[in-house]
């Protein structure tokens, strides 16, 4: 394997991500990992390699205690897989060889691996037995099937949730709320993000400093959105009341799957149930374009009501 700058081979890298089995594909793409590296991760140096069987997408840092470590480009949530390639056995052999030959690390963290997935099994067979192996805390995502369109989606939801959606739809119509889909090209990304931020600033998330209106999270999406717009992956929908935006939902489509990213609404209109309405209208739009799955992202209580499938990945920690 040879060192590679992932930013310069982003399109090729993403095509390989699309062909990689049993990983969180969207959160392993260049748009996600490079934005996270810039906005959310501590200072590190590139440690990515390209081989005949795929990529090892990683960075190298030095812990305050003094030991050097290798970790995925994105380890803010541990969603991205650093092993990207369609042949897990051949790729694991190449990665194990690189790690064995280089003496510049003491701990290697490999996240985004399904416990029984092909990458994990291949690594267990190929990494030297003298290295200690530890398991990290699992990370859970909730995923909804969009099979059967909107009717199929609703049929798989609870009676209580269907009732809530119908009630919110009636209240929105009575209040005059409308919904607007926005597909922005790369030059329009900055204006789109400014529009999103105007809604975000009026949300409870901004008031409690848990959203994307300030700090590293604001920079993360600012970095990621232009790439999503350039590749046509971005999907944004606004709730409007008269001439004003009162809510938004932002996500991205990759390989037939929609990844929900953020949604917020004007807290003055919370009684309208805008959060659920934005989710439902986004599902409707996605079904209309034939998207098969909706990844709602990492664990939160409300996501269990909207999804029926769970994807779980974990970290493999190697200690030399």
Exposure class string for 160-184: b at 16+ Cβ within 10 A, else e: ebeebbeebbeebeeeebebeeeeb
Closest listed residue to residue 318, CA positions, set 48, 98, 21: 98
pLDDT along the chain (320 residues), means of 10: 97 97 96 98 97 97 96 96 97 97 96 92 94 92 96 94 93 95 96 98 94 96 97 97 96 96 94 94 96 92 89 94
* DSSP 8-state symbol, 281: H
Cα distance between residue 238 and residue 254, in whole Å: 21
The pLDDT assigned to 54 comes to 97
| pLDDT value of position 115 | 85
CATH architecture assigned to 147-291:
3-Layer(aba) Sandwich (3.40)
pLDDT at 302: 84
Paired tokens of 56: 């090892």
**pLDDT reported for residue 84:** 98
Domain 2-140+312-319 part of CATH 2.60.120: no
Q: Domain locations in the chain? A: 2-140+312-319, 147-291
Nearest Cα to Cα of residue 113 among 18, 24, 17: 24
Is 2-140+312-319's fold the same as 147-291's? yes
């Amino acid at each position: 394997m040879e060192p590679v700058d992932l930013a310069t081979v982003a399109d090729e890298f993403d095509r390989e991500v699309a062909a990689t089995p049993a990983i969180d594909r969207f959160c392993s793409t260049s748009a996600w990992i490079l934005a996270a590296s810039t906005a959310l991760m501590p200072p590190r140096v590139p440690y990515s390699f390209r081989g005949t069987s795929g990529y090892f997408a990683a960075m190298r840092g030095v812990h305050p205690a003094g030991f050097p470590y290798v970790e995925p480009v994105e380890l803010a949530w541990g969603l991205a897989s650093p092993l990207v390639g369609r042949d897990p056995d051949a790729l694991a052999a190449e990665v194990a060889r690189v790690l064995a030959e280089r003496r510049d690390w003491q701990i290697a963290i490999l996240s985004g691996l399904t416990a029984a997935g092909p990458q994990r099994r291949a690594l267990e067979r190929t990494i030297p037995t003298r290295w200690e192996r530890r398991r990290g805390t699992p990370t859970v995502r909730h995923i909804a099937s969009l099979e059967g369109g909107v009717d199929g989606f609703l049929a798989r939801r609870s009676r209580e949730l269907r009732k809530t959606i119908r009630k919110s739809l009636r209240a929105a119509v009575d209040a005059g709320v409308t919904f607007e889909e926005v597909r922005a090209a790369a030059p329009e990304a900055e204006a789109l993000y400014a529009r999103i931020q105007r809604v975000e600033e009026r949300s409870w998330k901004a008031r409690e400093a848990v959203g994307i209106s300030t700090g590293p999270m604001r920079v993360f999406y600012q970095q990621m959105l232009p790439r999503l717009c350039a590749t046509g992956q971005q999907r944004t929908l606004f709730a409007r009341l008269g001439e004003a935006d009162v809510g938004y939902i932002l996500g991205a489509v990759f390989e037939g799957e929609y990844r929900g990213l953020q949604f917020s609404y004007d807290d003055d209109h919370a009684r309208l149930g805008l959060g659920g309405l934005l989710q439902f209208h986004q599902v409707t739009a996605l079904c209309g374009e034939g998207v098969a799955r909706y990844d709602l992202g990492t664990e939160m209580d409300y996501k269990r009501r909207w999804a029926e499938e769970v994807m779980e990945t974990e970290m493999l920690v190697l200690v030399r």
